[in-house]
Structure 1
Amino acid sequence: WKIVKLKGNIKFVKGKKPKIIFKEKSDELSKYLTINVLSGKDYLYAHPKSVILAEKDNILMVMDGASSGKIYFGANGIVASTLAKVEILNNDLSTEYVYHFLKYNENEINNHTTGSAIPHTDKNFVLSLKIALPDTNDIMFSKFNKAIGSIENKIIQNNDENKRLAKIRDSLLPKLMSGEIRVPINDKEGDEQLCKK
């Protein structure tokens, strides 16, 4: 393995803000990946035209604001204007390896922002970080990629399931509070409710 800088091995592709953003999902719209959407706090959608798209195996980094330097992985959709997609230029580096390297350095990246009023990720600082460039024939590296790949897939599935369940919870809670739907307190009450239907 040899030690190299990230410069020349990765590049940033800054996101773009779509012309129109929607709150409701439809078949022709893609998820608009803002920090709140990636954190599961919001759901926004837009047309996937003239924008930067991310796949589940792309690394995303927050470039603007207080969260500058925060790393995300496993999201499908339109990259927001405050984020950048991290593209790997060196085939010897796997996405998982670079993701975990950046995640490990996340706080350091956040501490080295530029700008006074609104912080921005310092791309030059990120590109100056030194990473161990693996030997592609190294058995340990291939084992790492295989093991971490299956773990990352499970994390993505769990995150997707958590977001889906949170959405269901958020739609059911107002109905429970208003009395539109009821939860039986005991088996007898549940049986009575079923008999009425």
Structure 2
Amino acid sequence: MARPVLLPLVATLAAFFGALSFVGSSGQARSSCSRVPARVSAEYLERCGPKDSDVPFGSASATGPGATVEFKKRPFGILRYQPGQGGKGAMAMEIIPKSRYPGDPQGQAFAAGVQSGWVVASINGQDMLNEDFGKIMDLLDDEVADPRFSKSTALALEKQGGRLAEPVEAPLSVVFNSIPGYTYKGAALTEDGQDGFAR
């Protein structure tokens, strides 16, 4: 009597586990686009990916006043950058809103008055307004060293095909320009119990 019940159950389990076997396979039929979510973690996308509040911008429109900042060491205190239209240019989006102690590297952008929505105009005198976003990120190399995210960052770099440029040696001079009429609409960062910052 039990046999008719077991056969459908075994068939269902076999189909389920058979369907799961493709997840870890490296079959040629899958396109590189279908592998992207598996290679970049949710944490990486939450920290560095686009947000609904991001406003598209053209880096050539960054003609307003800003600031020239000398970053003495990394990280600078800018947690996320947004690429401009066509993948050109980079806008500072989320800036740590305080300096915790004198010389705090993650308070450099805040202490220099860098504002969310300002665009990287130049690095060490080199024009960045029409440069590829990935190249600007590699030149800045402004990634917070956090072991929770090191694997996802490495995978994102591998997906891009390696570095597009070698990081500029610190100290480095970065000019930020504002975009006339641009209003930052992102979330304000708040301090968490671990002395880090989150949205």
TM-score when normalising by structure 2: 0.24
